[in-house]
Amino acid sequence: MLLCLTAACSPDYNWREVRPADLGLVVMLPGKPAVLTQRVRLDDLELVMTMAGARVGELPFTVACAVLPDDLATTRQRIVAAMRAGMVRNIAGTESSSRDVKVKLIDAAGAVRGEVDGLRLIAAGKVQGRPVQMQALFVAQGRRACQAVAVGEHLPDEEARVFIESLRLLVAGA
């Protein structure tokens, strides 16, 4: 029994709530995040994407948001679809499940200001010839499209759930 309790409280997962600069979101990461901004091409659009992530061993937990050229629903849908397809393609994978979810919109003080539709998916594939599992969340609001992705050979469901379900988007207060 002591072994189970020790494993459940693994010091490797040092969960902390973070608000990475330039992402406009709040999320739990299992360590101090590294942040990177770069230009990416999604659905024939060149966009600026900022990423923040932390690793636990070989398991990366990463959030990323792309700044969209407009706030049209069709643009958000196109970019979210491109993000989804790109992440599945990155692991040469196949989706095993996907479902619609609600993502909370919060103000700077943490008060809930609404919800927006998101998509949660689970996929399996291979990276460098090794089998991997991926859990991800894709969501867009206003002029941004975001993804939260955890991937790894032995991805613990509970840690992936903590990460994915903690994502909240920041909006201007009412």
Q: What is the pLDDT of residues 95-145, one digit of tens each?
A: 999 999 999 999 999 999 999 999 999 999 999 999 999 999 999 999 999
Cα end-to-end distance, the chain, whole Å: 49
Pair of tokens at residue 130: 């090794």
Strands 16-18 and 59-67 come out as unpaired
Pair of tokens at residue 112: 């809930």
Q: How far is it between the farthest Cα atoms of the chain?
A: 54
pLDDT for the residue 8:
47
What secondary structure letter does DSSP report for 31?
A: S
19, exposed or middle or buried, with CB in 10 Å at 0-12, 13-18, 19+? middle
User: What pTM was computed for the model?
Assistant: 0.91
CATH 3.40.1000.10 fits domain 2-170: yes
Q: State how far the Cα of 38 lies from the Cα of 148, in Å rounded to an integer.
A: 17
Partner residues linked to 131 by β-bridges = 126
Inter-residue contact 54 to 33 (CB < 8 Å): yes
pLDDT tens track for 9-35: 454 899 999 999 889 999 999 999 999
pLDDT for the residue 4:
39
Residue 76 φ/ψ, nearest 5 degrees: -60, -45
- The pLDDT of residue 61 is above 70: yes
Instruction: Return the closest-CA partner of residue 138 out of 147, 151, 128, 125.
Output: 147
